[in-house]
Amino acid sequence: MGAAITIEILKGAYGDAIWVECARADRPWRMVIDGGPPEAADALAARVDGLAPDDRVLDVVPEPWWNGPTVVMTTIFPSVIIQQQVNSLSTRHIQPRGPNAFDFVWTHFGFADDAPDMQRRRLRQANLFGPAGYVSADDGEVIEFSQQGARQRPGGVSVVELGGTDTATRTEHTVTETLIRSMYAYWRRTLDV
């Protein structure tokens, strides 16, 4: 017998939270398409909590040093990002290798006193946020597309305005490219380029 696919609409407002499961003989796989609105959170959490721990990719365990739920991504200059998302701790570093190539280096961290189940959890979550992760896989591709666009004029200068040219110390909202332009302006001043 082949794999049977089931689709379940979880209770929640607009029928947004869709649970898809493929019952393969070796190991079933599951995915959620759109977690739904906030009122669907309890139904989705109950469905995930009903799985055996080894069947969960996203099995979050709060850690004392978080001081509450947290997702942190801090850019340190243009090429390094330090991130903590759920139990995954990592850095992403873009290392240029020349005008037409770069390496995208990920380093994932754990603590020396992590219990085996936390080590397994961190490794599993690294698959969410790592270079081929469910969440971050497109980041490297976007960087590559940007690099390809910038080298369209060999021997020339490319300008990527990212929606404008302004820099500012404050913005009214965070849905803007002003912050990244400001970071690159600071980088250019610091490196005198």
Cα 54–57–60 angle (5° rounding)?
95
pLDDT (tens digit per residue) in 23-80:
777 777 777 777 666 777 777 778 777 777 666 666 778 888 887 667 788 888 778 8
Cα 99–103–105 angle (5° rounding)?
150
Q: Which range among 45-54, 98-107, 153-162 shows the weakest confidence by mean pLDDT?
A: 153-162
Question: Domain containing 45: what range?
Answer: 4-55
Closest CA to 176 of 190, 164, 186: 164
- Flag whether 140 is in a domain: yes
Same domain, 148 and 88: yes
Region 70-98 average pLDDT? 83
In order of 1, 17, 34, 53, the CA distances from 23 in angstroms are 11, 19, 21, 17
Answer yes or no: pTM beyond 0.85. Answer: no
- Domain boundary (36, 55, 74) is at 55
- Flag whether 39 is in a domain: yes
